[in-house]
Amino acid sequence: MQAFEATNFYFDRAASLMDLTDNMRTLMITPDRELRVEVTIEMDSGQIGNFIGYRVQHDNARGPFKGGLRYHPHVDQDEARSLASLMTWKTAVVDLPFGGGKGGMNCDPSKLSRGELERLTRKFVLQIHDFIGPDKDIPAPDVGTDAQVMAWIMNEYSKFHGFHPACVTGKPVEFHGSAGREAATGYGIFIVTREILNRLKQEIAGSTFAIQGYGNVGSFTARFLHNAGGKVVAVSDAYGAVTNPEGIDIPELDKHVSTDRKVIGFKGGDASTNEQLLTMPVDVLIPAALGGVFDATMAKAVQAKIIVEAANGPTWPEADEIFHSRGIPVVPDILANAGGVIVSYFEWVQNLQHFRWSLEQVQREQETKLVESFNKVYDLSQRKSTSMRTAAFMLAISRVGRARVLGGI
């Protein structure tokens, strides 16, 4: 099974519990537009580098397409399609006036110089600028891209269309970005983790957490949990894991990572593997890296009480069924990691109004939106005796479907 098929499986499972015609299903699953461009740049060596860039615009019934740009060697059309579709459901679950899109570049950014990365980004924008924009499609950071890449996108876009900071979100704070955007996905994970723990009569303080992935999302999640008294007993990255049953000293780990660029080698814990981290007996397991982490075998081996999906698409359908039958609640990606796109929405609003919000306002409004959405999904899942993933899809499908009908097909 491929990623887009898995997303559609979740869509179908929810749709089958709703009053949705087959035509409507097909309409809602099929992407509106798929761009695939050849991005050719001069490498530092003088050689010509050839990369393939994608932008999939899935659905804009509720507003402009919205979603990140991923730079990673695994990026391909199917992955972009799946992630674009997830954005449609994500923006609908948290009720933002956006649709869903996603894109990326098949490249390994760790092997590119800063100059190559900039040329690649600008060339990509050169090829797709007519299809993006503040009221068309608004890219944002994802795996392998950051605020600097977004700044280049804004600048390149402005050469063709003038000053439009709202054409991309996740920009540097000093270059039309929003306070709180960089930490937003991790902060959102912290909030939904607190909410699900509360429903199960537990608190962050004293609970144990394992976080797979220590990039932007995983590291901010760890910091928020640690500051609230949570015990982060394991973290990992692409090179390996570190564990400490007493709780890892996250500020110390951050110092280590800032020099060594990886978690292993950290003195305040024992070296371990990604597999061991995923099967540790913890209160909350947080996959915060790439998709496709949980297959059936892994789902049977997991010993966590709760799973909060910080990554997009970490759970294959077969694993999802196993978690459900084992009574392990999963807070699904389209709800759990929506904090990023929520603050992207605030950034877009600030850009359109040429006005700035304080960090306090951003975090307050983010929390309100996430808690409200969490409660809606959780309560619906209880009412319908279904998983939170199915409930989240049901809520999203009803909102997108309603917009389709109201706007006219």
Which residues are known catalytic residues? 102
Kindly state the smallest distance separating residue 185's Cβ from ligand GLU, in Å: 7
Binding-site string for ligand GLU from residue 294 to residue 323, where x marks contact by CB under 6 A and - marks none: ------------------x-----------
Kindly state the smallest distance separating residue 259's Cβ from ligand GLU, in Å: 28
Binding-site string for ligand GLU from residue 361 to residue 400, where x marks contact by CB under 6 A and - marks none: ----------------------------------------
Residue 57 within binding range of ligand GLU, rule CB under 6 A = no
- Which tokens is 337 given? 């990691």
Question: Which DSSP category does 294 fall into?
Answer: B
Residue burial 367-380, b: 16+ Cβ < 10 Å; e: rest: bebbeebbebbbeb
Residue 66 within binding range of ligand GLU, rule CB under 6 A = yes
Nearest to 374 by CA among 398, 343, 395: 395
Q: Which range touches ligand GLU (CB under 6 A), out of 25-33, 117-125, 287-295, 339-347?
A: 339-347
- Which tokens is 35 given? 């761009």
Q: Which of 207, 340, 369, 396 binds ligand GLU (CB under 6 A)?
A: 340
Q: Could you tell me which residues are beta bridge partners of residue 139?
A: 67
Q: Which range touches ligand GLU (CB under 6 A), out of 22-30, 43-51, 60-68, 202-210?
A: 60-68
Half-sphere exposure of 17 (CA within 13 A, CB side): 21
Total residues in contact with ligand GLU, by rule CB under 6 A = 11
Nearest to 341 by CA among 318, 319, 383, 373: 373
**Contact status, residue 78 vs residue 106, Cβ threshold 8 Å:** no
Kindly state the smallest distance separating residue 208's Cβ from ligand GLU, in Å: 26
Nearer of residues 31 and 67 to ligand GLU, judged by Cβ:
67
SS3 of 172, please?
coil
Q: Could you tell me which residues are beta bridge partners of residue 168?
A: none
Residue type (1 letter), 390: T
Residue type (1 letter), 227: N
Nearest to 63 by CA among 166, 155, 147, 159: 166
Residue 344 within binding range of ligand GLU, rule CB under 6 A = yes
Residue type (1 letter), 138: I
> Rule CB under 6 A: which of 167-206 touch ligand GLU?
169
Q: Which range touches ligand GLU (CB under 6 A), out of 61-69, 172-180, 196-204, 286-294?
A: 61-69
Residue 140 within binding range of ligand GLU, rule CB under 6 A = yes
Q: Which of 31, 63, 64, 67 binds ligand GLU (CB under 6 A)?
A: 67
Nearer of residues 146 and 249 to ligand GLU, judged by Cβ:
146
DSSP H or E run through 266:
none
Q: Which of 61, 336, 341, 396 binds ligand GLU (CB under 6 A)?
A: 341
Say if strands 100-105 and 65-71 run parallel, antiparallel, or are unpaired.
parallel
| DSSP per residue, 58-119 | EE-SSSSEEEEEEE-TT--HHHHHHHHHHHHHHHHHTT-S--EEEEEESS-GGGS-HHHHHH
Nearer of residues 106 and 344 to ligand GLU, judged by Cβ:
344
Contacting residues toward ligand GLU, per CB under 6 A: 66-68, 140, 142, 169, 312, 337, 340-341, 344
